Amino acid sequence: MNSTQIQYMKGSIQTVNVIQYNKGSIWNVLAFPDTDEGSKEAEAAFTYLAKLNKFRDEDIEIGLEDGYCEQGEYQIFIVHSE
């Protein structure tokens, strides 16, 4: 596979990603289809992981709007691929 094929592949899959990051390393990446249903699932995963890591409900709501929550060295992101 050459770089042109890889570039094409990178742009062909639209996803919503929930990414856990801690102490300078990616812990986990969850990918959902970039559809209404996939977005709902990604938001539910983001909320679940944030609550599991003891984020307050208010911070989770803001995090969903801003695309990330941060607490100490732990961060969780929700992003759409482009």
| Residue 13, Cβ density class (10 Å: 0-12 exposed, 13-18 middle, ≥19 buried) | exposed
Owning domain of residue 73: 14-80
Instruction: Give domain status of residue 6, yes or no.
Output: no
Instruction: Give domain status of residue 5, yes or no.
Output: no
8 Å CB contact between 81 and 19 = no
Going by C-alpha positions, the residue among 67, 63, 43, 45 that lies closest to residue 55 is: 63
Distance CA 50, CA 44 (A): 10
How many structural domains comprise the chain?
1
Q: Report the predicted TM-score, pTM, of the whole model to 2 decimal places.
A: 0.82
pLDDT band at 14 (very low <50, low <70, confident <90, very high): confident
Percentage of the chain beyond pLDDT 70 is 84
Percentage of the chain beyond pLDDT 90 is 78
8 Å CB contact between 16 and 78 = yes
Instruction: Give domain status of residue 7, yes or no.
Output: no
Task: Give tens-digit pLDDT for 51-73.
Answer: 999 999 999 999 999 999 999 99
Instruction: Give domain status of residue 74, yes or no.
Output: yes
Going by C-alpha positions, the residue among 36, 45, 37, 48 that lies closest to residue 17 is: 45
